[in-house]
Amino acid sequence: MWAGNAWRAALFGVPRGCRAQSALAQLRGILEGELEGIRGAGTWKSERVITSRQGPHIHVDGVSGGILNFCANNYLGLSSHPKVIQAGLQALEEFGAGLSSVRFICGTQSIHKNLEAKIARFHQREDAILYPSCFDANAGLFEALLTPEDAVLSDELNHASIIDGIRLCKAHKYRYRHLDMADLEAKLQEAQKHRLRLVATDGAFSMDGDIAPLQEICCLASRYGALVFVDECHATGFLGPTGRGTDELLGVMDQVTIINSTLGKALGGASGGYTTGPEPLVSLLRQRSRPYLFSNSLPPAVVGCASKALDLLMESNTIVQSMAAKTQRFRSKMEAAGFTVSGASHPICPVMLGDARLASRMADDMLKRGIFVIGFSYPVVPKGKARIRVQISAVHSEEDIDRCVEAFVEVGRLHGALP
């Protein structure tokens, strides 16, 4: 053994083990430099530990007393609904903890097929396919559907998962300015030489709380022979008269070709995503979509919870109707206090602050006052556009909302964000 090490040392200068340690030391140095840069920029993201169920009232590790939660995607408050929890327990008991397999091998159960059919009915589409997340649905769609003969036209502020999914495909890529229909039309004119043209947009944009002008998008798509894809993660369950999403809200359900959305926000809050649209498209995704083919199927408990959440939503739209008034209450009170709140009429209410450190420090001081909110900064949002994103839930009371506004005013004055 010594002779072997001596031979390596003579040939390469250092023993193999020493070279490995040197490489690891180099890696550590690089990583620590990157991490220190994040800290220095004031964009470090800490994770608070919740010690209770998700909901409007939670408990946080290291903080005494109850906390009002204003930054979850739990729009309808169904993540801890007794009937949703019971449905998950029943599915766990009947179908087990998981399938230990991908769908096409031995990972499809009757509850998966039933939920896909229910999703298609809910969105008034032909078929649907489940994924582990909507990130996976977005990663799996464009590569399977589009070829080098095709073109995809994407809003510049689309969600990261749409951007990453588009990067994976070989179609020609056009990016139009955020919500700019003149720029979209110019790009559509340029893209006429391609076989298929797909306009891709978020329905509701998660960082700014604004809504895509789907009527205008669909009109342009019709004029230039394009298809329309909408990511509805921040719309499914609560936008539109019956919670079908932005296409229902804006009256274009029959003009949007493909919808991707999530089960991890309004529809139970666990995980899972889906694509719904024409049956041949869904069939193609089952054959070619890599995240579908190479990922374990959704756990039965998650499927059971999401299915019950859809049932509750389709039985009554009472919860949906309560959202608008509560959202307006928060927005109007915050704007009257002097804050700038981005977007309009969406329960995502970004309180614009600009400076990353200010957003982080204000969020920390809000927690001291019993309000759970998070500062958002680069790279989640562009530099100079840091914010605290407040999200209203149907299960927040008016008193909850007023208390949140009062804390914002107090903390805003403390940090000079308000006069």
Q: Among residues 112, 159, 194, 265, which one is catalytic?
A: 265
Domains in the chain: ranges and CATH: 45-74+317-415 (3.90.1150.10), 82-315 (3.40.640.10)
Q: What is the mean pLDDT of residues 64-74?
A: 93
Mean pLDDT for all residues in the chain: 93
* CB neighbours of residue 97 within 10 Å: 9
Q: How confident is the model at residue 1 (pLDDT cuts 50, 70, 90)?
A: very low
pTM of this structure: 0.90
Q: Among residues 112, 234, 308, 346, which one is catalytic?
A: 234
* Separation between Cα atoms, residue 48 and residue 139, nearest integer Å: 29
pLDDT at 288 over 70: yes
Q: What is the mean pLDDT of residues 249-253?
A: 97
With beta carbons less than 8 A apart as the criterion, state whether 71 and 373 touch.
yes
State the virtual CA torsion across 231, 186, 251, 133 in degrees, nearest 10: 0
pLDDT value at residue 43: 78
Q: What angle do CA 108, 96, 50 make, to 5 degrees?
A: 110
With beta carbons less than 8 A apart as the criterion, state whether 75 and 204 touch.
no
* Separation between Cα atoms, residue 292 and residue 59, nearest integer Å: 36
206 catalytically annotated: yes
* Separation between Cα atoms, residue 19 and residue 212, nearest integer Å: 54
Q: How confident is the model at residue 16 (pLDDT cuts 50, 70, 90)?
A: low
Q: How far is CA 61 from the centre of its chain?
A: 25
Q: Which two structure tokens, joined as six digits, stand for 166?
A: 């588009």
User: Cβ neighbours of residue 415 under 8 Å, at least 6 residues apart?
Assistant: 358, 361, 362, 365
Q: What is the mean pLDDT of residues 75-97?
A: 97
113 catalytically annotated: no
* Separation between Cα atoms, residue 364 and residue 377, nearest integer Å: 14
Q: Among residues 154, 206, 261, 393, which one is catalytic?
A: 206
234 catalytically annotated: yes
Q: What is the mean pLDDT of residues 366-381?
A: 92
User: Mind listing the pLDDT tens digit for each residue in 293-314?
Assistant: 999 999 999 999 999 999 999 9
* Separation between Cα atoms, residue 274 and residue 192, nearest integer Å: 29
DSSP 3-state helix, strand, coil percentages of the chain (rounded to 5)? 45, 15, 40
* Separation between Cα atoms, residue 411 and residue 163, nearest integer Å: 36
Q: Which two structure tokens, joined as six digits, stand for 236?
A: 């499914």
